[in-house]
Structure 1
Amino acid sequence: MKHGRLGFGVLVSTGVLAAGALVMAPAANAVTPDTATISFDCGFFGSGTATLTATQDGTAATISLSTSAIKSPLNISANSVRSTLKLTNNGSGTSTFTGNSNPAIPAGGDVSTGPLNGTVAAGDSLEASSLTVVVFGITATCNATSAQTPGPFVF
């Protein structure tokens, strides 16, 4: 019977240690805010607002966006929009997020793209400044015309 008690004691001790390790584990990285809006002027292609959604996993970050500034002239198949989002980093440097992932977009629909991939460091404060979208070999360049609301993404 002593072996039974010893085995039970080891099992309980292991469980307590595992629970303690979970409590002491560092919190997952988070970006705040996780969603923001900004206005873009895309010249000939139009102007409008964009909704940006950011996520973070360590130093890897993604931003997805949908904008009414660019309407699709034709049906666009999934994963056929190539995009580059430039962001001001801490007010002076720049960070670039790129990708060619998008949902299928119907003719006349808002252009959506992402996730766009980039690298961040703790304390980075990123605010969108320009967006370049290439669809069917046609390039639309958009420049931010407002501040990001409610504020920059802080990683």
Structure 2
Amino acid sequence: MRGKRIGSGAAMLAGALAVTGLALAPTAAAVTPTTATFTASCGIFGGGAATLTATQTGTAATLKLSTTAVKAPLAIGANTINSTLTMVNSAGPNRVFTGTVNPAMAINDPITVGPLNGTVASGDTLDIYNGGLVMVVFGITVTCTATGPQTPAFVYD
């Protein structure tokens, strides 16, 4: 009988240690870096410095784009800009991030869209150069491209 108790106790201890090990295990690494800059050209709507902010949870990723160089021509309500951001992937197929998330913007406020949702794979290296952002605002399509590579590229784990 005593052998069964020791065996049961050892099994419970091993189970507790396994659960503790999982709880203390490091979380999966995420995208690096989390911010990058580039120069945007949005045709007649302007252009200049822009910032991308990235997050990653497994294969789900988001990108947010903001720029003080391109201003809202009219007041824009929250979550009314339909955005598609295409990122060139040096490790495989391009990745597309989409959504209608944006803050409310007054006339001449800097443009911000996102977070836009997309899917990535481990090892993806994404850059907006030769990709771009297409925004549809009040039925008007605004296309923004990068004039050169972003600094630095996003690498997903």
Cα contact 1:45–1:69 (8 A) shared by 2? no
Q: Normalising by structure 1, report the TM-score.
A: 0.84
Secondary structure at the aligned position of 1:21 is classed as helix
For this pair of structures, how many residues does the alignment match? 148
Q: Which runs of 5+ in 2 are unaligned?
A: 1-5
Identical counterparts, % of pairs: 52
> Any residues of structure 2 matched to 1:22-101 within 5 Å, and which?
22-23=23-24, 25=25, 27-90=27-90, 93-101=93-101
Amino acid of the residue matched to residue 36 of structure 1? A
Cα contact 1:127–1:153 (8 A) shared by 2? yes
Amino acid of the residue matched to residue 41 of structure 2? D
Please list the CA deviations of residues 50-99 of structure 1 after superposition, one character each: whole Å capped at 9, or x if unmatched: 11110011111000111234210121110001111111101674211111
Amino acid of the residue matched to residue 18 of structure 1? V
Q: Counterpart of 1:144? A: 146
Amino acid of the residue matched to residue 106 of structure 1? A
Give the superposition deviation at 1:26.
5.4
Q: Counterpart of 1:18? A: 19
Amino acid of the residue matched to residue 42 of structure 1? C
The ranges of structure 1 where at least 4 consecutive aligned residues each deviate by more than 4 angstroms after the TM superposition are none
- CA–CA distance in structure 1, aligned partners of residues 39 and 56 of structure 2: 23
Q: Normalising by structure 2, report the TM-score.
A: 0.83
Give the superposition deviation at 1:21.
2.6
Amino acid of the residue matched to residue 139 of structure 2? G
Amino acid of the residue matched to residue 53 of structure 1? T
Q: Counterpart of 1:126? A: 126
Secondary structure at the aligned position of 1:70 is classed as strand
Residues 46 and 91 of structure 1, relative CA distance in 2, 3 Å threshold: farther
